[in-house]
Every structure is written in C-alpha cells, then in structure tokens.
Chain A
Amino acid sequence: MKVLQEEGVDTIFGFPGGAVIDIYDELVKTEINHILVRHEQGAVHAADGYARASGRIGVCLVTSGPGATNTVTGIASAYMDSIPIVVLTGQVNTSLIGNDAFQEVDIVGISRPCTKHNYLVKNVEELGRILKEAFHIARSGRPGPVLVDLPKDVMQSFTEFRSNEEVRLRSYQPTYQPNMKQLARVINLIKKSERPLIFAGGGVISSGASNELKKFAKKIHAPVSSSLMGLGAFPASDPLWLGMLGMHGTYRANMSTSECDLLIGIGVRFDDRVTGKTQSFASKAKIVHIDIDPTSISKNIPVHTPIVGDCRITLQKLNSFLAKETMRGLKGIRDPWLEQISEWKAKKSLAYNQKDIIKPQFVVEKIYELTGGKAIISTEVGQNQMWAAQYYHFDKPNSFITSGGLGCMGFGFPAAIGAQAACPDRVVVDIAGDGSIQMNIQEMATAVQFNLPVKIAVLNNRYLGMVRQWQELFYDRCYACTDMEAAPDFLKLAEAYGAVGLRATTPEEVVPVLKKALAVNKPVIMDFLVEREEGVYPMVPAGADITEMLLV
C-alpha cells in the first residue's frame, strides 16, 4: 500500500474476490480511491483510459482465477498501444500453486506474451522491490502493462516497509538519448528534401513531445500526418495538418505519403493498417524513423535512418540543431509541395450528404462542434472508431482514447470511465456502435455508482457495421451474421441503470439531444438511429497500395 501511495496512485479500478480480501481490507484504510467495476475487463480498460487521459500509470486490482483471466483482453490492448498500467492479481496460497486449487490460474504464464513484464511475488520481502520495479518498467522506455501476481499468504504476512529504494535493473536500460551522428544525418536529409512529410504516432503522445513536434514541423515547413494512435499529437487546426493516414486516412495524407521524398516517422510502428502494401509504401522517400523501441525499427518497413531514442528528447535535440541553421529559402523550396497538398485537399475525401436519415459522420461533427473540440473522446472499435478519428479534430494530446492495435470492442466505455475519473472536470464522450457498446454495457452501474458523467453516443445502425462494410465491398453483400436486429432499447437500458437515456431519430433531433446530454451531470446514453448501410470512406482495401482509395 505504501508503495502504491509513494508511486502517486490515487485511484484503483478493481473487483474483489477471495484471494484479494486482505488487500482490500488494507485498501479501504488508505486515501486511495477505489472504483468498483462490474467486470474485470472493465477494470483494465478503465485503468488504461485513466493512463491515456492523465499520462500517469493506471492501476487495477482483481482476484485470482477468473478475475485474472478476465483482465487478459484489457492487458493485450494496453500492450499493443504501449499504455502504462499495473495489474495486480490475487493468487492462491503459495503452497497451493500448481495444485489446481479453487480459483487458481497461471496468470503469469497466460499474460507473459501480452505484458511488458510480469511477476509472481513469492515472499513478502520481495513485495516492495517488485512493486517499485513494476511501476518503473510500466512507465519507462516504451511504456506497457506490467502484471504482479500476489498470493494470498504473501499478502497476509508482514514486513518492514523500506521507502525510496531506487530501482536499478542491470538488464533493462532503455535508450533515451539519440545518437548525435544520426541526428546530423537527419538534418542533412531535411535540408535536401523538397517534399518532406512528418508521420507522428502514439510515441509522440506518450513521451509528451507534442510541443516539440509543433516547433519542429513549423521550422522545417513540413506537413504532418499521424496514425490513429497519434491523433492529437499535432493540432488538427494547424494548416500543416493532413489528417490521419492509412486504411481510412484522408486522400491528401495518403497521396502525400506516396509522393514525399522524406518521411520522418516519429513514435510510430508502421502497422499494416497504416502501410497497406508495404512494397509501395512511401516508395519515393527516404525514411527516418525515431522510436524508443529498437524492435519497431525496420520491422515492417526498411528504414534509411533509424534513431533509437525518446521522441521528446530527440525532437528537442533536432530543434536545437535547427535553431542554429538558417532555414532561409527553405520555405520557397517547400512551396510547390505544400501547393500540391492543398490541391489534394480540394478533393474532399470526407464529404458526405446529410439528407433525411441521420448520418453518423454528422453526429460526430456535431459532437465536435458542441464540445468545442475540447472533450476527451473514447471510442469502441469499428466504424464508430473511424468516424470519430475522421470527424473529431483533435488539437491536444491525451484526448483521443481508442484501442488502436488490438482493436478491442467494448473498450471505449470503461476507458471513458477511467478517463473521467482521471479528469473530473472534462467532458468525456464515448463514441460507440450498437454492437460494441453491448460488450461492456454492465459498466453503466459503475458510472452511476461513482457519478462519472460519461456521455455515450451510440451510432446505432443495428449492424456490426465495419464487418458489414467489408461484406458489402469484398463479399458480394453477403451480410453473414452482422445484422443485430434484436437489440436492447438503449433508452430504457440507461434508465434501468439509473442513467439518462436520449434518442434522436431525425437529423433535426441530433443537436438538441447532444445539448441535453452535455447539460446533465449524469451518465447518458444517446441513441442515434443512423443510416444503416453507411460506410467509412476513404477506404484502402487490406493489403493494397494506400493510394488505391475507395472514395465515396
């Protein structure tokens, strides 16, 4: 407990059980706020949302056996997106481990491939050190989830608390400082480049490098695009912003990627949803890749100039190099490139036509307008996620919370709860689909109990929309098992939980419903009955060149 407090933990998301009663017995005696979820998966997603919104470590506590296995999806999602969380799981008595005891599971074994590191605490003497290490590992280097398995008998024993032990691991020293020679090479490449493009990812956000990125882009007059995880790293209101690139990227972002002569990837991992066909990805460009994790470099795309280091420190160094350089004349060189990009921009790839039936894009745009672009937006996974990414324009980091790598349905709502707990003064909206919201709808009770006034906007098309869209485009419109005709009445469902339910069936009702929802200090479900067969465009078919976009 003392370690947790020393680490600045103010909130734990959890669900008690036999193996962790002792911990709970101590927990309630502390100042730490405990948020009782309704399913352990919700606890991990909430800790994840808390971490993304606050930049601090999210912590969750669950019991052994099923409690532990229920965390796995959440842990895998945090692992894929490099989110620092610490998952504390109960375990049976050390004497019973391996005996198939009641509620026993080898969670250290199960979670090994989806945690950054994990521990089984075998005696109480190790507890303090291990917890310290867990927090250290979760937050440093490329952040990620760390699981600590806590047997009941270890939790029942006592030891003297030793404070402020410094964590030093001989086997773990992430590289923060970039190689200076490589930086000099990058400066040269920038000077020579006529058509540079910056591609920012989640690493910019997790290292807190947004301001440095802004400075960098302005100084070198380079347009900026980002991955899904990088949204908010660079202000969407900036003229240099191109929008997201990749499978559902904007026309100009994808065209720029193909045409640029220098691609500077910062805190990205060149995921397949970004690159499409890897052979033709940015094929005219020299690629610079800045990342703290050497395994990300040249994993999917061969890199011309790799830089292993922290994004913020690296950008600071690049900026101070550049401050000494006169960049006069550079703007002139870049003008034709920027003009070309505004030509591409004229092809309004995100245009849609709002007629009688509510368009989901329209709902997201109105959410953007009515929240002044200042809300924390979480999403579920599928079409709702992509529309949120395309039509909500993020100016600030730590504002867009989405399960990017794992693509985990049921993520958005508990993550929104975590974000709301971290930032009580901000508006938190979960942009959801009718399919994925039902995957963790039980957390409504959590939101109500702890008065976390999360607003859920269900873009209700009664389909598993993204899969339906693939079926429409690539499977001859055979909508196999994607029609969700039987669904709960979300309005009544909200009321049953003690929350507020609202519905919009026509475009005229969208704004009043949103205004009403934003005005109440309670959790709200908004049910927007949207165009059933609306698709997400532009779309690059999986594995195709990213310029082969299907436009509306």
Chain B
Amino acid sequence: MNNNGIKEKHTLSLLVENEPGVLARIAGLFSGRGFNIESLCVAETTEPTISRVTLVTKGDMYILEQIKKHLNKLIAVIKVFDFTGSPFVQRELALIKIKAKPEYRAEILRMVDIFRSRIVDVGTEHYTVEITGDGGKIEAFLELLKPLGVKEIARTGAIALAREKK
C-alpha cells in the first residue's frame, strides 16, 4: 500500500470557494489529522468566487492519498489536483534586503543579473532584491548573498500550474 514509507514532497493545487473560513478548514484538517504543510499560498482566481490554494506537503503514498481524499471531502473545496508526477511549473518569490556597502554594490548587481532577479528598492545602505524561481534557486541565491549580509527576507510559498499538453 505504501511505497515503503518513502516520504515525498507533493505540490497540491486546490480550487476552493472564495469565502471566509476556508483556509481555517484546510489548516485545521492538516493539524487535526497530523498531516504536515510545508508551504501554502492562496489568492483569488479570475473567477472571483473561486480561490486557488497551492499547498506543498510531504508524506508517503498512503498519507498523500488520505490528504487528498480529506481535502476533497471538505464541502468548500471544489477540486484537488496533485501536480507531482506530471509536468508542471512551480515558482516561489522572495524579497531579500541586503546590506549594500558601496564596495559590494557591483558584486551584488552581478549576482542579481546572473540569477535574473531585480532590484526593487534602493537605499543608501541597502538593496531590496526580488527573485522568483523554484525553491532551489532561491536557496542558492541566498547562500551567495549571506556573506554580504542579508538584513531581512520575506518568502512566499510555492505556486504552481500544470503544463498544457504540447
């Protein structure tokens, strides 16, 4: 039944009714049943009565099956997709405030360029960089910036969409 208990990361995408309490129902389901949420993003879709929740979770096949079934069982959840195992695009966004002393500015700009990120705010002592990508890319970028002095960071969870058939 389980794939030898191997825990795998799964990206789930849910279409839910855009009404108060839905997020609490989803979060409550995870905490109440001992499932785990690695990240969670919610926003309205083009249809204002529907929101999309992108949720990254971890578990073996058996747990994942239960998570999906229980999500489907929630009355306010319209549809549950599990992207893992099929082609999909996934992105995260991070805003990183870095100490930007004049002698490091060129170096920072070079890295921003290499990672195809952007500077969105400039001060006398700092840059704020916006970077999107998968979790690994953001981690790698952060590792390189750390020695220069990261002041603050804000990260989103993952958002994802399935790839269309080509």
Contact = CB atoms under 8 A, between A and B. Distances in A.
Do A and B associate with each other?
yes
Interface of A: 108-109, 112-113, 116-117, 120, 137, 169-172, 293-295, 298-299, 302
Contacts of A302: 1
A298 B65 CA distance: 9
B116 interface: no
A295 B69 contact: yes
Given A108-B21, A295-B66, A299-B66, A113 B28 contact: yes
Contacts of B24: 109, 112
Contacts of A171: 16-17, 75-78
Contact of A117 (B66, B72, B75): B75
Nearest to B77: A171
Contact of B75 (A172, A294, A295): A172
A293 B70 CA distance: 10
B69 A294 contact: yes
B68 to A, nearest CB: 9
A294 B20 CA distance: 26
Q: By CB atoms of chain B within 10 A, which of A109, A169, A295 has the most? A: A295
A423 to B, nearest CB: 31
A169 B69 contact: no
- Size category of the B interface is 20 to 34
B72 A116 contact: no
Nearest to A169: B75
Nearest to B31: A113
A169 B70 CA distance: 18
Chain B interface SS verdict (over half)? helix
Interface in B70-122: 70, 72-73, 75-78
Interface of B: 1, 16-17, 20-21, 24-25, 28-29, 32, 62, 65-66, 69-70, 72-73, 75-78
Contact of B73 (A120, A293, A298): A293
18 contacts: A108-B21, A109-B24, A112-B25, A120-B20, A120-B21, A170-B78, A171-B16, A171-B17, A171-B76, A171-B77, A171-B78, A293-B73, A294-B69, A294-B73, A295-B70, A295-B73, A298-B1, A299-B66
Q: By CB atoms of chain B within 10 A, which of A116, A120, A170, A171 has the most? A: A171
A256 B21 CA distance: 46
A250 B3 CA distance: 36
B72 A294 contact: yes
A108 B24 CA distance: 11
A144 B60 CA distance: 29
Nearest to A294: B69
B21 A116 contact: no
Nearest to B1: A302
Contacts of A169: 75
A293 B66 CA distance: 12
B28 A112 contact: yes
A112 B21 contact: yes
A203 to B, nearest CB: 15
